[in-house]
Chains A and B, each alone.
Chain A
Amino acid sequence: MALYSETVMDHFRHPRNVGIIENPDGVGEVGNPICGDIMKIYLKIENDVIVDAKFETFGCGSAIASSSMATELIKGRPVSEAMELTNKAVAEALGGLPAHKLHCSVLAEEGIRSALLDYHKRYNLPYDEEKFALLHHDEEDFSDEA
């Protein structure tokens, strides 16, 4: 059996939305080089709708595929909907991820959330602190380390 599903490999080999956005409305960078995955998400937002999303990722196959899928899932969606994107939805859309790779999809969720926080701050928009509280996600559930 392959390590990753066909969908993961498709998004890894042909990632959607790779790159940067000039004059973005929100940018989020999550992860750190010490543990091996870094994701940077760029958003273009018009009338509270995400009209474009791009990413750059330093990371494993799961991280690259998760960034690709997460940006696909939020493109064309209202900000309020993008706020609700979960790592579970990303992993499911990818046809599942190996247990020890779920944390990479968490990173994608956090990347989007972090870019949205940046958007709210840039434009002085009111926001619910609690919605961004997960930026220190409890990863315990996602690790299968023995």
Chain B
Amino acid sequence: MIYADNAATTKPSQKVIEAMVACLSEDYGNPSSVYTLGQRAAELLQNARERVAKNLGCDPSEITFTSGGSEADNQAIRTAAFLGAQKGKKHLISTPFEHHAVLHTLNKLEREGFEVTYLDVHENGLVTAEQVAQAIRPDTALVSIMFANNEIGTIQPVGEIGAVCREKGVLFHCDSVQAIGHVPVNVYDLKIDFLALSAHKFHGPKGVGVLYTKKGIRLQNLIEGGAQERGKRAGTENVPGIVGMAVAMDDAIANLDKQATYVAPLRDKLIDGLSKIPHSILNGDRTQRLPGNVNFCFEGIEGESLLLLLDNEGICASSGSACTSGSLDPSHVLLSIGRPPEIAHGSLRLTISEDTTHEEVDTLIKAVTEAVEYLRSISPVWRNLQEGKQDFIIQ
């Protein structure tokens, strides 16, 4: 099997699994209990908090453990909206290609009377700090822009955006779920006020994440109950998950250079190989992208059938076609960078990791090339394009 869907989730490392199993089998106490077993769990929790904070460049008191990226995104945006509304600020700035955890929260706020400006992400999938500066108004409560896009992998100029927001006194939330463990992230240097991350994107467990909130910002609860997480997120802590996340994060950050020196060149090899397929186009900027992300559109074919053929070859990949999402619309990300729907249906995302080998990349190139060729051979759209009855969109 070739696992090429690391943006969807990653394989937990052996070290992570062992740390979690030890936690489940021995250190199962409730961190809120006074006896030794409970306090042992509380120590593990504190230790994990300190390690996560160190990796992000912040204070442990600025870390809130959550159930993952989605919850962190929700809580950050809800908090900023609440605080803004108290001062009569009901304008938010974001992009049209955020993760649904952000977009759907923004949509809900729009229905509650907030106004959202969605910045153009251009054909290359990038926004500029100037766009942000121009969009900020006296009543802007929050700028929410993702660090790296989960589909096309583009990396935004986060430091520049952070600087603009700080200068104008506007809160900045950065959904960094896809970035952490793949590119360097320091919340202090980048002037980030809220940051969401999720353990399962860097070889940690699923269902656990972090919301970093800059000191001085009054976090609003999504979940009411006990006094866990300084009273900002109720519920007995997911200690094994949090411990596993800390182990995974330490490892990922310690090996960051491998992303640039090994994964990125492998990605470029994959991009070069797939670019040879006629009438194909890379989605997202060629250089400002995650080390492991490859995303293409192939004209004349549909993505789900491509995924099924690849699955046949033992290849795990993903697509932005409507048929893979269960809705009738193709990926909002591909539409936002201007790909027409008929092209967006024929997209393929391959996300590799430091575990991917050169041989696997060779196999991926061969398998995708053959599958695309076959699907085109049975496609009436491809026939029309070939016979000149219809113009190619991708040259």
User: Does A12 sit within 8 A of B, measured CB to CB?
Assistant: yes
Query: What is the interface residue range for chain A against chain B?
Result: 20 to 34
* In contact, A57 and B323 (Cβ under 8 angstroms): no
Asked, given contacts A60-B321, A100-B326, A145-B327, whether A37 binds B380 with beta carbons under 8 Å apart, the answer is: no
* In contact, B302 and A36 (Cβ under 8 angstroms): yes
* In contact, B379 and A56 (Cβ under 8 angstroms): yes
User: Chain B, 324-336, contact with A by CB distance < 8 Å: what is the 0/1 string?
Assistant: 1011101000000
User: Does B383 sit within 8 A of A, measured CB to CB?
Assistant: yes
A40 to B324, CA, bound (A): 22
* In contact, A12 and B308 (Cβ under 8 angstroms): yes
B378 interface neighbour in A18, A36, A37, Cβ under 8 Å: A18
Nearest-neighbor residue (CB-CB) of B326 within chain A: A100
Q: Which chain B residues border A4 with CB–CB below 8 Å?
A: 308
Q: Which chain A residues border B304 with CB–CB below 8 Å?
A: 60-61
Asked, given contacts A33-B342, A36-B330, whether A58 binds B321 with beta carbons under 8 Å apart, the answer is: no
Q: Which of A20, A37, A59, A62 has the most CB of B within 10 A?
A: A59
Q: How far is the CB of A92 from chain B (nearest CB, A)?
A: 21
A59 interface neighbour in B305, B324, B328, Cβ under 8 Å: B305
User: Does A29 sit within 8 A of B, measured CB to CB?
Assistant: yes
User: Does A70 sit within 8 A of B, measured CB to CB?
Assistant: no
Main secondary structure of the interface of A (DSSP, over half): mixed
* In contact, B381 and A61 (Cβ under 8 angstroms): no
A65 to B322, CA, bound (A): 17
Q: Which chain A residues border B232 with CB–CB below 8 Å?
A: none
User: Does B114 sit within 8 A of A, measured CB to CB?
Assistant: no
Q: How far is the CB of B278 from chain A (nearest CB, A)?
A: 16
Interface residues of A in 11-68 (CB under 8 A from B): 12-13, 15, 18-20, 29, 33-40, 56-64
User: Does B301 sit within 8 A of A, measured CB to CB?
Assistant: yes
A35 to B330, CA, bound (A): 8
B345 interface neighbour in A13, A18, A33, A61, Cβ under 8 Å: A33
Asked, given contacts A60-B304, A100-B326, whether A34 binds B379 with beta carbons under 8 Å apart, the answer is: no
* In contact, B341 and A33 (Cβ under 8 angstroms): yes
Known: A19-B378, A35-B322, A36-B323; 11 extra A-B contacts, CB below 8 A, are A33-B342, A34-B341, A37-B323, A40-B380, A56-B378, A56-B383, A58-B301, A58-B382, A61-B304, A64-B378, A101-B323
